[in-house]
């Protein structure tokens, strides 16, 4: 089975390039001396996570409990869920997982910690305190607030206080992190983990005093984040969407058989890069159509022609699809189910 | 089972209100004297389509063949796919469907029409010519080009030329439509169907000479499209996302357990309306978190609190979920699988 046998739209993955990205980040973190925890939200595919671990990662991070269940069921034994797990249904799912794998979660309130403790029956859940070091999402607002919460966590049954986490890693976080760790250790509570994150932020880890760095998007983007479509390139981006030209209504316009429900792309950013004809620009998307301005391109497009597009939002794109196709030298080598897709709970 | 029993995030549907929207649009089109063809892309749930047909719709429109397969398998017998079906795999799927249901497709090129004809084996596929009357997507560019294509379609085996379609219905399209229909009829080719579309555009149908109007989003938005979150209101929008507050890091900020992978919302537009506290504004979303500015709201949010949010992009939101929950008076009455979700081919 080759790429030519696939109907479109189809998400395809250049396996050589994906493996290179996995190797490169593993080598990068090894050289930096910082353990790498891979974030599976970028792909939601257990076998890719296993390959990342085989390359040297210490474990995975999953943003939702449903993703964690998928990874544990696939035999992954060290999972961080950097997310406040709230509500009895979820805390029971978490503690069931904690009997099968080393589970760590982030909390930023006593209410969340207490809920997990109450559900922890014959198991231990490792807990990090999330710190809001400028990301303005979740997180304790000060080192003092974190110390107060650490004392409460340390006293709650079923929980192991493990340390702190933040996102993203930024040099501005240095004082906040150092002061928090100092205060907690000063209170006689060990801090084993200081977790930071963000593809492209690994080099700050040592300066920030991190014990691990969480990176995810490097699988699709290489060693640094891609902010706009100018940097999408087939030499670094293994995830593409195979599409068909379904209409060429004018010499300046071609219409693709994938739109927002295929690409998850949205205005006003550019939508992606057409590998075969980068001078043809995707200028708009409706729900199921991609609109291409071909005026700057000498190629004459025709109905039925197939193209490969690197989407701007690879993670969001893959999250729309039930399966994807890994290929090497044009041959389909793997059909992967996107096992964590839709696990929003 | 009540709403309180659901874990979050969960897409919930107020059935009374959805049924009201279905009844209202059916009555509106009946009063206007224009047959209504319902677009299932808004929900991708066969049972909702059946309810729309029971209320008076003449059939459905499906944007992708995969959606059409889901609807035909659920017993729906009149399906328009207003999309150029290109490639042998798809044309064979189309002609298989044409043996089980009345299938109509839109084409805008001889290449597309010829491909369908070649696959049409012991069946007939009804064909409309798509006209680009200003929407600047697919479509024949002039009445003369449409006439030329109509003659070719009329001569191709396996195809029944049925008429023309455009999107959206606009008064500016009137001359283009009239001239095209006149030219084709003048060539001795009957034009049975003139199809327009767009929720909120039904009232133009008669003036434009349409024989049917395609509307979809009215199921979630009522009789006119909602362009921004100011018009989202619980009196007209039955689709909501039940979420939980997982963090209240500051008195001015609350964090919800749903972000872009739950809501499909994107900047720079507003993200949705929190029914219980509309003065609390969702100001941002990361992949799995919703960020709420609570500074303008007197309510004090707490971890574990549940809220219902009307998303700005209901159709795109529902397309991320495997199932949704229909309720009446707080009780879950139906659990629907989003059967067409992910059918991008």
- In angstroms, the CA B109 to CA B116 distance is 11
Domains of chain A, CATH where assigned: 3-11+229-337 (2.40.37.20), 15-221 (3.20.20.10)
From A7, A132, A287, residue closest to B63, measured CB to CB: A287
Tell me the CA distances in angstroms from A339 to A45, A49, A59, one per residue in order.
Answer: 6, 12, 18
Interface contact flag, A138 B289, Cβ < 8 Å: yes
- Which residue of A lies nearest to B145 if distances are taken between CA atoms? A249
A80-112 confidence digits (pLDDT tens): 999 999 999 999 999 999 999 999 999 999 999
Cβ of residue B109 closer than 8 Å to a chain A Cβ: yes
Q: Which residues of B touch A83 (CB under 8 A)?
A: 246, 288
pLDDT band at B227 (very low <50, low <70, confident <90, very high): confident
Q: What is the structure's pLDDT at A265?
A: 72
B132-172 confidence digits (pLDDT tens): 999 999 999 999 999 999 999 999 999 999 999 999 999 99
- In angstroms, the CA B204 to CA B207 distance is 5
From the CA of A47, how many Å to the nearest CA of chain B? Answer: 21
Task: Pick out chain A residues at pLDDT < 50.
Answer: none
Q: What are phi and psi of B149, to 5 degrees?
A: -70, -40
State chain B's mean pLDDT as an integer. Answer: 96
pTM to 2 decimals? 0.97
From A83, A244, A286, residue closest to B87, measured CB to CB: A244
Mutate to test the interface with A, among B292, B303, B339 (most CBs of A within 10 A): B303
Residues 78-107 of A with CB under 8 A from B: 83-84, 86-87, 89-90
Task: Write out chain B in H/E/C secondary structure.
Answer: CEHHHCCCCEEEEEHHHHHHHHHHHHHHHHHHCCCEEEEHHHCCCHHHHHHHHHCCCCEEECCCHHHHHHHHHCCCCEEEECCCCCCHHHHHHHHHHHCCCEEEEEECCHHHHHHHHHHCCCCCEEEEEEECCCCCCCCECCHHHHHHHHHHHHHCCCEEEEEEECCCCCHHHHHHHHHHHHHHHHCCCCCCEEEEECCCCHHHHHHHCCCEEEECCHHHHCCCCCCCHHHCCCCCCCEEEEEEEEEEEECCEEEECCCHHHHCCCCCCCCEEECCCCCCEEEEECCCCEEEECCCCCCCCCCCCEEEEEECCHHHHHCCCCEEEEEECCEEEEEEECCCCCCCC
- In angstroms, the CA A43 to CA A156 distance is 35
From the CA of A133, how many Å to the nearest CA of chain B? Answer: 12
Interface contact flag, A249 B9, Cβ < 8 Å: no
From the CA of B66, how many Å to the nearest CA of chain A? Answer: 12
Cβ of residue A345 closer than 8 Å to a chain B Cβ: yes
B118 pLDDT higher than 80: yes
B269 pLDDT higher than 70: no
Cβ of residue A145 closer than 8 Å to a chain B Cβ: no
Interface contact flag, A321 B315, Cβ < 8 Å: no
B275-286 confidence digits (pLDDT tens): 999 999 999 999
Cβ of residue B260 closer than 8 Å to a chain A Cβ: yes
- Which residue of B lies nearest to A243 if distances are taken between CA atoms? B345
Predicted ipTM of the assembly: 0.97
Mutate to test the interface with B, among A130, A197, A249 (most CBs of B within 10 A): A249
Q: What is the structure's pLDDT at B228?
A: 72
From the CA of B80, how many Å to the nearest CA of chain A? Answer: 15
Interface contact flag, A83 B136, Cβ < 8 Å: no
Q: What is the structure's pLDDT at A171?
A: 96
- Which residue of A lies nearest to B140 if distances are taken between CA atoms? A249
B177 pLDDT higher than 70: yes
Q: Which residues of B touch A264 (CB under 8 A)?
A: 264
Whether residue A187 contacts residue A204, with contact meaning beta carbons closer than 8 Å, is answered with: no
Interface contact flag, B261 A344, Cβ < 8 Å: yes
B231 pLDDT higher than 90: no
Whether residue A304 contacts residue A245, with contact meaning beta carbons closer than 8 Å, is answered with: yes
């Amino acid at each position: 089975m080759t790429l030519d046998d696939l109907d479109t739209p189809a998400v395809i993955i250049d396996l050589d390039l994906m493996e290179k990205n996995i190797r490169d980040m593993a080598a990068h973190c090894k050289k930096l001396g910082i353990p790498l925890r891979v974030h599976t939200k970028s792909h939601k595919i257990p076998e890719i996570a296993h390959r990342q671990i085989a390359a040297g990662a210490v474990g995975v991070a999953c943003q939702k409990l449903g993703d964690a269940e998928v990874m544990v069921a696939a035999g992954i034994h060290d999972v961080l869920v950097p997310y406040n797990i709230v509500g009895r249904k979820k805390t029971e799912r978490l503690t069931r997982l904690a009997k099968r794998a080393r589970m760590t979660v982030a909390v930023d309130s006593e209410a969340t910690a207490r809920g997990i403790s109450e559900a922890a029956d014959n198991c231990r859940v490792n807990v990090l305190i999330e710190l809001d070091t400028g990301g303005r999402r979740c997180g304790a607002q000060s080192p003092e607030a974190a110390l107060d919460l650490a004392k409460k966590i340390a006293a709650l049954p079923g929980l192991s206080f493990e340390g702190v986490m933040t996102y993203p890693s930024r040099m501005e976080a240095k004082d906040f992190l150092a002061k928090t760790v100092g205060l907690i250790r000063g209170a006689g509570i060990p801090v084993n983990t200081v977790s930071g994150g963000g593809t492209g932020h690994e080099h700050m880890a040592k300066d920030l005093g991190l014990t691990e760095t969480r990176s995810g998007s490097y699988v699709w983007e290489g060693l640094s984040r891609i902010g706009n479509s100018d940097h999408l390139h087939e030499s670094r981006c293994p995830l593409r969407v195979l599409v068909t030209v379904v209409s060429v209504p004018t010499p300046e316009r071609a219409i693709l058989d994938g739109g927002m429900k295929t690409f998850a792309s949205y205005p006003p950013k550019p939508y992606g890069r057409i590998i075969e004809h980068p001078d043809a620009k995707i200028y708009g998307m409706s729900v199921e159509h991609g609109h291409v301005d071909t005026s700057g391109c000498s190629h004459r497009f025709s109905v039925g022609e197939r193209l490969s597009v690197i989407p701007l939002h690879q993670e969001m794109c893959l999250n729309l699809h039930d399966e994807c196709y890994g290929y090497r030298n044009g041959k389909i080598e793997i059909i992967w189910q996107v096992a964590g897709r839709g696990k929003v709970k």
